[in-house]
Amino acid sequence: MKFEIARDRLIDALSDVMKAVSSKATVQILTGIKLEVDDEGLYLTGSDSDITIRTFVPAEEDGEQLIRTARGGSIVLQAKYFSEIVRKLPTNEVEIEVSNHLQTHIRSGKSEFHLIGSDADDYPLLPEIDDDRHFAIPGDLLKTIIRETVFAVSTSESRPVLTGVHWQVKDGELVCVATDSHRLARRKTRLENAPEDEYSIVIPGKSLQELNKILADSGDPVGITMSNKQVLFRAGHVLFYSRLLEGNYPDTSRLIPSEYKTDITVNGRTLLQSIDRASLLAREERNNVVRFMAEGGNTVEISSNSPEIGKVEELVETSSIEGEDLKISFSAKYMMDALRAIEGQDIVIRFSGSMRPFVLKSVEDDTLLQLILPVRTY
Amino acid sequence: MKFEIARDRLIDALSDVMKAVSSKATVQILTGIKLEVDDEGLYLTGSDSDITIRTFVPAEEDGEQLIRTARGGSIVLQAKYFSEIVRKLPTNEVEIEVSNHLQTHIRSGKSEFHLIGSDADDYPLLPEIDDDRHFAIPGDLLKTIIRETVFAVSTSESRPVLTGVHWQVKDGELVCVATDSHRLARRKTRLENAPEDEYSIVIPGKSLQELNKILADSGDPVGITMSNKQVLFRAGHVLFYSRLLEGNYPDTSRLIPSEYKTDITVNGRTLLQSIDRASLLAREERNNVVRFMAEGGNTVEISSNSPEIGKVEELVETSSIEGEDLKISFSAKYMMDALRAIEGQDIVIRFSGSMRPFVLKSVEDDTLLQLILPVRTY
């Protein structure tokens, strides 16, 4: 193997695949990155066995030569050292050559590194995936969907399936649901060219967070292909594979109340800042619980109280309060997560009494629903 | 106590005193910040008993009213909560009132916090300091002096006096020396209006690092007053006290070679980047040691070798090499620290043989000297 490549392009491709490489990898070969070069270009692969990322740098792009391949081949190089070396090379011209079986030379300017590689045949094969269950979503929309739901997954392994986001394709719609059994986020997205079959998969939250870091904020379509054990996201020259979580995702539709007793319309950003202040004194002793009270007029009172430190009370103006008076307590963190997901718009919060879950939505848009279970304090 | 203050001014003053407050304070009262208000303005004090910082916000500045004091007084408030609360208040108008002895109310917009304060009489008094041993240095110069020396202090407590920087005032000159017995940094500064006496104190490295964060990068003078146990830096409205280290600082002048065998002049930035690359493979196994070789011609070879991972070799062009051929090994970290302190200028490195300390200086400027002890590998 011997080729020349522009350092900036190699850095870009490497920084994507590095997101799949874990510093705690237990399988030795997965501490490495696989390089394969031929006349087409360079493929880089990184994996932690849950996530596999494969990027491609073409030999030529828009008439510009990016890679000059003198001799094709493949090698696995220690991810940590290889990426740091490339980042610090003195010039933009990089030559990589494998000689004497696994001896790898990285040359740039007057600098020459010799790394001991591993045999590329020992690197795991890419996950197999059938190409039949396929649809596409614009990249920026996919990022929004991930951001609006993934924060609500469970961080506890007691019910592993809840550490993932449930993706269901049905009737031309993608429904994404995440819950840790204290709060829930549900996002519905109408699909263009939706597949006719019904799909139901659970994607690990961690995979979606890593995918989100790689996706560009552009309208270019991201291809999504599902199999029984894997999902593949294809964005430009990047392939992102994730294993799926096994087990049945619970039916969450029963959680969402069908009747409401109090509707409050309020500016999301104002409420977020107020909850943030109230949570300052609620963090340690009181498990981050704040109180929320609507008793006549157009204002709600947010408060919290920590006997050791002090208390805080605040009035927040609303656009309208309809229905019964209300006293309810909830986790400030869950409320802030939900308000951040909806983003600073005017929102409506619908309550069904102080001991029942309540939901938050944008007043303009019905696609995203956030649900929170209250905490008993009154 | 009752007064109104502009939130942005309170935040600025708080962020300075917060640098003295340790989250691990063992003395309960030192987890707090002392507020004292009178017709002159507001004084804030924070301390971890090693460092004490006191800031002042005047009632009026340039004809603008910053504080309206209705009732003078003092209180100690939990630093962590108070600073977070102030930072998140909804408006720039803040009212702080102490009622019922220690009950403190913080009001802004429609938000009201109640904190339980502590008695200001329980807060330690400011260190006593005589005003006679005094001189001044422009703030930006003081920052430079700190940056050029403080990194070289010892991090080990085995010889506590080496965790500080030795400041000596003598013959109209300030000489600052730091060493961890493997490397040394020495900076000489000619003083205007220097005091006639000789002073010699050792300031904890940690204190100087915190001071550096507070000082503005301006030419305004910083007053420096030394006593036997304390040093006081006075910059505008900020007073910064640090305790001094006890014990005799070693005489380091004998460490600096008087004769040299090889002089190498080279661009500091180029050399820094080359050492940085060589250290990539030297970090874990080889205690960060790189080799440096000058054998004829105008280039030096930088290399390192890690049997498990690989090796690196690099040639660096110099401006000139005078004297004997040289093979020497040293800590890449110490070399990079020294080169960063001198900053990207052309530098001269003066060697006295492969087993003797060597020194680095700027070619233009003799005020700063960096010395490094080599490591035996050849």
Say if CB B318 and CB B336 are below 8 A apart: no
Residue type, B103: Q
Task: Report the residue of A281, A286, A305 to disrupt the B interface, i.e. the one with the largest count of B CBs within 10 Å.
Answer: A281
Inter-chain contact A280–B81, Cβ cutoff 8 Å? yes
Residues A74 and A170 in one domain: no
How distant, in Å, are the alpha carbons of A22, A210, B174, B175, B287 from that of B284?
18, 28, 39, 36, 6
Q: Could you give the CA distance from residue A47 to residue A34 in angstroms, rounded to a whole number?
A: 9
| Angle between helix B332-342 and B139-149 (nearest 10) | 160
Is the Cβ of B315 closer than 8 Å to some Cβ of chain A? yes
Is the Cβ of A99 closer than 8 Å to some Cβ of chain B? no
| Per-residue model confidence (pLDDT) at position A296 | 83
Say if CB B277 and CB B314 are below 8 A apart: yes
Residues B88 and B155 in one domain: no
Residues B190 and B287 in one domain: no
| Per-residue model confidence (pLDDT) at position B47 | 97
Q: Could you give the CA distance from residue A19 to residue A29 in angstroms, rounded to a whole number?
A: 16
Kindly report the three-state secondary structure assignment for every residue of A194-262: CCCCCEEEEEEHHHHHHHHHHCCCCCCEEEEEECCCEEEEEECCEEEEEECCCCCCCCCHHHCCCCCCE
Q: Could you give the CA distance from residue A141 to residue A176 in angstroms, rounded to a whole number?
A: 13
Residues A69 and A142 in one domain: no
**Residues paired with B322 in a beta bridge:** B263
Question: Has residue B128 been placed in a domain?
Answer: no
Is the Cβ of A293 closer than 8 Å to some Cβ of chain B? no
Q: Could you give the CA distance from residue B348 to residue A192 in angstroms, rounded to a whole number?
A: 67
Phi/psi at A160 (5° precision): -55, -35
For A77-100, the pLDDT digits (tens) are 999 999 999 999 999 999 999 998
Pairing state between β A230-235 and A221-226: antiparallel
> Positive or negative, the Cα torsion across B331, B336, B342, B345?
positive
| Per-residue model confidence (pLDDT) at position B308 | 82
Confidence check: pLDDT of A228 > 80? yes
Please give the average per-residue pLDDT across A370-376, as a whole number: 94
Inter-chain contact B281–A310, Cβ cutoff 8 Å? no
Point out the residue among B114, B308, B314 whose CB comes nearest to the CB of A310.
B114
Is the Cβ of B102 closer than 8 Å to some Cβ of chain A? no
Mean pLDDT of chain A: 94
Is the Cβ of B118 closer than 8 Å to some Cβ of chain A? no
| Per-residue model confidence (pLDDT) at position A378 | 56
Is the Cβ of B101 closer than 8 Å to some Cβ of chain A? no
Question: Has residue A250 been placed in a domain?
Answer: no
Residues B365 and B280 in one domain: yes
| Per-residue model confidence (pLDDT) at position A129 | 86
Q: Of A122, A146, A181, which closes a domain?
A: A122
Q: Could you give the CA distance from residue A259 to residue A352 in angstroms, rounded to a whole number?
A: 7
Is the Cβ of A116 closer than 8 Å to some Cβ of chain B? yes
| Per-residue model confidence (pLDDT) at position B376 | 83
Cα of B115 to nearest chain A Cα, Å: 4
CATH code of A180's domain? 3.10.150.10
Question: Has residue B326 been placed in a domain?
Answer: yes
Point out the residue among B111, B308, B311 whose CB comes nearest to the CB of A277.
B111
Cα of A82 to nearest chain B Cα, Å: 10
| Per-residue model confidence (pLDDT) at position B284 | 65
Say if CB A260 and CB A351 are below 8 A apart: yes
| Per-residue model confidence (pLDDT) at position B236 | 94
Question: Has residue B248 been placed in a domain?
Answer: no
CATH code of B332's domain? 3.70.10.10
Pairing state between β B368-372 and B183-190: antiparallel
Say if CB A164 and CB A202 are below 8 A apart: yes
Q: Could you give the CA distance from residue A157 to residue A180 in angstroms, rounded to a whole number?
A: 11
Neighbours of B204 (CB within 10 A): 21
Q: What is the ipTM of this complex?
A: 0.87
Neighbours of B120 (CB within 10 A): 20
Point out the residue among A113, A277, A308 whose CB comes nearest to the CB of B312.
A113
CA angle A368, A171, A143 (to 5 degrees): 40
- In chain B, which residues have their Cβ closer than 8 Å to the Cβ of A276? 88
Is the Cβ of A280 closer than 8 Å to some Cβ of chain B? yes
Say if CB B348 and CB B357 are below 8 A apart: no
More confident residue, B296 or A340: A340
Question: Has residue B251 been placed in a domain?
Answer: no
Question: Has residue B250 been placed in a domain?
Answer: no
| Per-residue model confidence (pLDDT) at position B344 | 67
- In terms of CA atoms, which chain B residue is nearest residue A270? B90
Is the Cβ of B301 closer than 8 Å to some Cβ of chain A? no
Residues B61 and B19 in one domain: yes
Task: Pull the structure tokens for residue A54.
Answer: 């494969």
Inter-chain contact B277–A85, Cβ cutoff 8 Å? yes
Residue type, B247: G
Is the Cβ of A312 closer than 8 Å to some Cβ of chain B? yes
Residues A14 and A109 in one domain: yes
For A19-71, the pLDDT digits (tens) are 999 988 889 999 999 999 999 999 999 999 999 999 999 999 999 999 999 99
Cα of B273 to nearest chain A Cα, Å: 8
Point out the residue among B84, B116, B314 whose CB comes nearest to the CB of A310.
B116
Residues A103 and A139 in one domain: no
Per the rule left: phi > 0, alpha: psi between -120 and 50, beta: everything else, B237 is alpha
The DSSP code for B335 is H
Confidence of residue A285 (pLDDT cuts 50, 70, 90): low
Is the Cβ of B100 closer than 8 Å to some Cβ of chain A? no
Is the Cβ of A314 closer than 8 Å to some Cβ of chain B? yes
Cα of A79 to nearest chain B Cα, Å: 12
How distant, in Å, are the alpha carbons of B9, B184, B238 from that of B211?
20, 21, 10
Residues A230 and A309 in one domain: no
Inter-chain contact B280–A308, Cβ cutoff 8 Å? no
Q: Could you give the CA distance from residue A210 to residue A53 in angstroms, rounded to a whole number?
A: 10
DSSP letters, A275-320, are HHHHHHTTSSTTTTEEEEEE-SSSEEEEEEEETTTEEEEEEEE-SE
| Per-residue model confidence (pLDDT) at position A177 | 98
Say if CB A356 and CB A280 are below 8 A apart: no
Q: Is B197 helix (H, G, I), strand (E, B) or coil?
A: coil
Residues B197 and B266 in one domain: no
Question: Has residue B377 been placed in a domain?
Answer: no
What's the gap between Cα A236 and its chain centre?
18
Phi/psi at B336 (5° precision): -65, -40
| Residues near A134 by beta carbon (within 8 Å), at least 6 away in sequence | A195, A223, A224, A225, A226
Neighbours of B20 (CB within 10 A): 25
Q: Of A216, A243, A270, which closes a domain?
A: A243
Helix, strand, coil content of chain A in percent (nearest 5):
20, 45, 35
Cα of A13 to nearest chain B Cα, Å: 21
Name the domain count of chain B: 3
Under-70 pLDDT residues of chain B:
131, 284-286, 344, 378
Cα of A277 to nearest chain B Cα, Å: 6
Q: Could you give the CA distance from residue A179 to residue A152 in angstroms, rounded to a whole number?
A: 5
Strand (E) positions, B100-159?
103-108, 111-116, 134-138
Q: Which domain holds residue B106?
A: 2-122
Question: Has residue B53 been placed in a domain?
Answer: yes
> Positive or negative, the Cα torsion across B94, B99, B101, B107?
negative
Say if CB A154 and CB A179 are below 8 A apart: yes
Confidence of residue A197 (pLDDT cuts 50, 70, 90): confident
Q: Of A178, A211, A243, which closes a domain?
A: A243
Say if CB A100 and CB A115 are below 8 A apart: no
